[in-house]
Amino acid sequence: MEDTQDDEPGAFLLVNDIPIHFSEDWDTGIGGGLWSTGLAFAQYLEHRSEDVLVNLRRLALVKKYSASSTRWHGNYEIDRNSINDDNSNERLHRHEIKEFNGISALELGSGNGFLSACLLALVMSDENSNIPLTELAITDMKDHLPLMFKTLKANSHVWDTLTYDDGEHSTTFDGTSPGNTTRPVERPMQQSPHVILAEHIWGEFESTNINTKTNQLHNKKYDFIFGTDLAYRNSLHDSLISSLLHFSHQHTLCLIGVTMTDTQPIFFDRLTEEGFRYEKLADHLLEREFRGGNFGLIAIQRR
């Protein structure tokens, strides 16, 4: 796929003016290239950044104040006028978020690391540095980890510390080291998410890995779970849903990009059977090329 922006040499995409660099490598396997919903999701982050930031802040509010409204809000301008039972929107505006506990995020089936790099850019671009994302775990099967690491290394300007667990060794890197990619925004270290790159095979939670970070990754709940083109075969549905169940708590928001021609309706039936509810974000929130029914961003939550 060609670079999509001319303004930043070599940038694949700009998220709030922060360049994200990416080179596909299909030799890696099925996730070595960027799938269409991966691009649709990235462009949603790019063009709807304020909506996404507000939703992430809302997750932190839910944690702190048990606010009642936790569904993914597609259009912030509309929601701002319609919800006010817990004062949460007012708090969102007053940027009180700095006092909140952080939220954690998990990408499933990342393949290439691109989408997580875009999310990190979005968080970093927040002018008030008040998205309390403290941890981002980026996962796939072991054979995809080197490409994911390559993408994250090419974008060290959007993270501060990253632990890469290749299955044998766990090494922590410093994104602020001299020689790394240029940082567009200086932020206090304590407000930057720690990034963990490690294997997670859906439905498998018993880790034989001796690395503590990877074991921690498998033994916790996440506030935001995301991924694209994951449910592309019926045989994957049960293990994927079992990971969603394992890693989610009552208020977790999952945002999953789906290609409808690959993902059969039975996936949604299985989600419902397992106690989730889901909602497709309105088509107009996606870029024009992804509208019309074949691509969708699906917000999934426990009932």
Ligand X SMILES: C[S@@+](CC[C@H](N)C(=O)[O-])C[C@H]1O[C@@H](n2cnc3c(N)ncnc32)[C@H](O)[C@@H]1O
- Options 35, 44, 159, 267; binder of ligand X; rule CB under 6 A: 35
| Of 4-12, 64-72, 223-231, 266-274: span binding ligand X (CB under 6 A) | 223-231
Q: Is 141 in the site for ligand X (CB under 6 A)?
A: yes
Using CA atoms, how far residue 40 sits from 85, 106, 278, 285, in Å, is 33, 19, 19, 10
Alpha-carbon torsion angle 7, 13, 14, 18, nearest 10: -100
User: Three-state SS string across 146-192, please?
Assistant: HHHHHHHHCCHHHCCEEEEECCCCEEEEECCCCCCCCCCCCCCHHHC
Q: Which of residues 106-125 bind ligand X (CB under 6 A)?
A: 109-112
Q: Is 228 in the site for ligand X (CB under 6 A)?
A: yes
Residue 6, number of CB atoms within 10 A of its CB: 7
Q: Is 43 helix (H, G, I), strand (E, B) or coil?
A: helix
Between residues 18 and 198, which has the closer beta carbon with respect to ligand X?
Answer: 198
Tell me the backbone φ, ψ of residue 251, rounded to 5 degrees. Answer: -105, 5
- Options 68, 84, 239, 250; binder of ligand X; rule CB under 6 A: 239
Q: Is 232 in the site for ligand X (CB under 6 A)?
A: yes
Q: Is 145 in the site for ligand X (CB under 6 A)?
A: no
- Which is it for the CA torsion 18, 21, 24, 28, positive or negative? negative
Between residues 17 and 238, which has the closer beta carbon with respect to ligand X?
Answer: 238
229: left (phi over 0), alpha (psi -120 to 50) or beta: left
- Options 19, 38, 113, 175; binder of ligand X; rule CB under 6 A: 38
- Options 58, 63, 144, 237; binder of ligand X; rule CB under 6 A: 144
- C-beta of 229: minimal distance to ligand X in Å? 4
Between residues 231 and 299, which has the closer beta carbon with respect to ligand X?
Answer: 231
Nearest residue to 213 via CA among 175, 141, 148, 161: 161
- Options 14, 83, 185, 236; binder of ligand X; rule CB under 6 A: 236
| Of 28-36, 47-55, 158-166, 294-302: span binding ligand X (CB under 6 A) | 28-36
